[in-house]
């Protein structure tokens, strides 16, 4: 349970970071 929860959190963090990176790139492109 703890392991799967950790894995899910890491997956969520990775997807969140990649999304933020994409948003920042789009923002920089607009600027």
Terminal CA-to-CA distance of the chain, rounded, Å?
Answer: 45
Per-residue pLDDT, 16: 84
Residue range 1-31, pLDDT digits in tens: 566 777 777 888 888 888 888 888 888 777 6
Per-residue pLDDT, 21: 87
Per-residue pLDDT, 1: 54
Radius of gyration, alpha carbons of the chain:
13
């Amino acid at each position: 349970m703890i392991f799967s929860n950790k894995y899910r959190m890491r997956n969520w963090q990775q997807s969140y970071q990649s999304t933020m990176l994409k948003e920042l790139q789009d923002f920089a492109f607009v600027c």
